Every structure is written in C-alpha cells, then in structure tokens.
Amino acid sequence: MSDTAALLVRIAGGDRAALHALYKAQSVRLFGIAMAILRDRDQAADALHDGFLNIARRAASFDAAMGAPEAWTGAVIRHAALDIARRRGREMPTDDATLGDRPVEATQLSAIADGEEGARLRSCLEQLPEKNRRGILLAFVDGLSHPQIAARLELPLGTVKAWIRRGLLSLRECLA
C-alpha cells in the first residue's frame, strides 16, 4: 500500500494528523490542478480547501482496486475547482484580436466538431426530442451545471437531470 493510500485509510478512520500529512504531501500538486482549471490563486485556494474537506468526508469511499490514490485525490480537487468555475459562470470572449479571442458566431450545433464523427453526432442529436437535445447542449456545449440549466429553463432540477440522462442514453445507442 502506498503512503497516500495508507493516509486515506487513516483519514477514513478520523485521523486528523493523517489529513494534515496528506495536505503537506499533496497540496502543491493539487493546488496546481486547481490553478490549471481556475487560473486564479484565490479561487484555486478555495478549491483546494473545498477539495480537502471532501477528501476528509469521502476518504472511506477510496478503493485502491479502482486506481491510484493520487488520481483519486486529483479528481476530488478537480471536481471542487470545476464547481467553483461553474458558480462563477462562463467567461465570454471578446472580439479584441490582441487578447487572442475570437468572436463567437457559431450556433450550438456548429460548435460541435466538424468531420465524420461530428456529422454522426449532429445527426444523432437532431433525432433527439427537443427537451433532451436542449439540456445536453446547455450542459456540454455551454458548460452549464444541472442547477443552472434548471434555473434557465425554469424546470425542477430532477426533471432536467432525467431529460439529460435519457438524452445521453439515446445518444449512446445512436452512436454505437
């Protein structure tokens, strides 16, 4: 068992010293993951904090048979950073060429990759009922979270989640 895995076992048992040791051993690497996603030191620090709270709460769910403990801790921090990114909203590019941004003119469907795979995906998306397609596009093209989609569509969160799930299952069948 690796040192990190052993620390996670101890954390699952409520050992606060193990959590501190894990923080000392992994925080620089994990902060780098958060920074790569958020590109803001304060928000990355918040993600690291939130992630370590989740690590402490969920350490018992770590299963060494499923993967490396470093990958698991990295995924926890990544999810914490993505949650923060979703809360702050999507940044809109400008048309200022000196910033490297390009104006956004594409429709949602044309934003999906071109080529044969893109054509297959567009065809499958067009076969979906509008409610399923719209939810999927809002989530995967616009990058909105389920709660944000529910708020935008003025629907219950459970309904939005069900529509997206059914749509993804239909897409999987279509693309198989």
CATH number (domain holding residue 62): 1.10.1740.10
Q: Is residue 143 part of a domain?
A: yes
Read off the pLDDT of each residue in 96-100 and give the average, rounded to a whole number: 48
pLDDT in tens, 23-60: 999 999 999 989 888 888 899 999 999 999 999 999 99
CATH number, domain of 163, equals 1.10.10.10
What residues contact residue 34 under an 8 Å CB cut-off, 6+ apart? 43, 44, 45, 47, 48, 51, 77, 78, 80, 81
Q: Is residue 104 part of a domain?
A: no
**In contact, 103 and 93? CB cutoff 8 Å:** yes
Q: Is residue 68 part of a domain?
A: yes
Q: Domain span at residue 65? A: 3-88
Q: Is residue 14 part of a domain?
A: yes
Task: Report the domain count for the chain.
Answer: 2
Predicted TM-score of the model (pTM): 0.51
